[in-house]
């Protein structure tokens, strides 16, 4: 019996390949991760800002306050339209924003924040770290690529008590020190409807000049 068992073990084994249809009906393509998947868009306007510059808290650090005369929301003609696109593997995101009736020389900051409409939320991405903003908006259009490193840089840029509340977005509100540091986490916030563009100028620095909440693009 032991001889027969050993003899059977030495026999060649024939493997029969079978065509198996994917249960999901989706062809598996590992190389397609670089393709664009989800896309969000926003229309930026002064009317989405959370308040007027005169409403900035009295203890606001001077770096966040306007250095030129401010104009009320109802009197500003500035507008914008932008998209935020994610690769399918969430390795990168791409921001593409066009603005009108904005003095590009007065642009001091441009951020992607996390927060609900009307809420002044912390900074998730500081697009000003990628170059000189007036030059980047010279023709009225800005296009940038965003990676995990950009999120980490924004989260680590803030120091002290002010930085703890202005830089980096928490994964869970109950744990504000655990910050989102991946494009996948950024996409999750976008899907929750809590991501927005905010363009700050010298005249509208605290709340910003134009703001736009990001929403999924209808397929």
Domain assignments of the chain as residue spans, ordered by start:
35-216
Cβ distance 65 to 56 under 8 Å?
A: yes
pLDDT surpasses 70 at 176: no
Rounded distance, CA 22 to CA 18, Å?
Answer: 12
Q: How confident is the model at residue 7 (pLDDT cuts 50, 70, 90)?
A: very low
Q: Please give the C-alpha separations between residue 66 and each of 58, 125, 134, 206, in angstroms, as whole numbers.
A: 13, 21, 17, 7
Query: Residue 148: enclosing H or E segment and its boundaries?
Result: helix 148-157
Mean pLDDT throughout 187-207? 95
Cβ distance 103 to 77 under 8 Å?
A: no
Does pTM top 0.75 for this prediction? yes
What pLDDT was estimated at residue 19? 64
What pLDDT was estimated at residue 18? 59
Closest CA to 111 of 97, 129, 123: 123
Reported as a single tens digit per residue, the pLDDT across 65-88 is 999 999 999 999 999 999 999 999
């Amino acid at each position: 019996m032991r001889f027969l068992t050993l003899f059977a073990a030495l026999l060649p084994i024939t493997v029969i390949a079978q065509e198996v249809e994917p249960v999901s009906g989706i062809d598996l393509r590992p190389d397609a991760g670089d393709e664009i998947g989800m896309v969000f868009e926003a229309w930026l306007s002064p009317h989405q800002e959370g308040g007027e510059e005169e409403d900035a808290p009295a203890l606001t650090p001077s770096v966040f306050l306007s250095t030129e005369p401010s104009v009320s929301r109802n009197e500003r003609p500035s507008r914008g339209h932008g998209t935020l696109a994610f690769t399918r593997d969430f390795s990168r995101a791409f921001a593409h924003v066009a603005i009108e009736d904005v003095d590009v020389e007065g642009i001091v900051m441009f951020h992607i924040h996390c927060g609900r409409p009307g809420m002044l939320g912390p900074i998730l991405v500081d697009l000003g770290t990628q170059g000189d903003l007036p030059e980047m908006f010279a023709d009225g259009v800005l296009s940038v690529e965003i990676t995990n490193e950009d999120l980490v840089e924004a989260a680590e840029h803030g120091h002290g008590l002010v930085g703890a509340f202005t830089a980096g977005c928490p994964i869970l509100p109950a744990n504000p020190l655990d910050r989102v540091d991946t494009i996948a986490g950024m996409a999750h916030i976008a899907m929750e409807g809590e991501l927005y563009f905010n363009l700050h100028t010298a005249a509208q620095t605290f709340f910003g000049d134009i703001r736009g909440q990001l929403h999924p693009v209808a397929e």
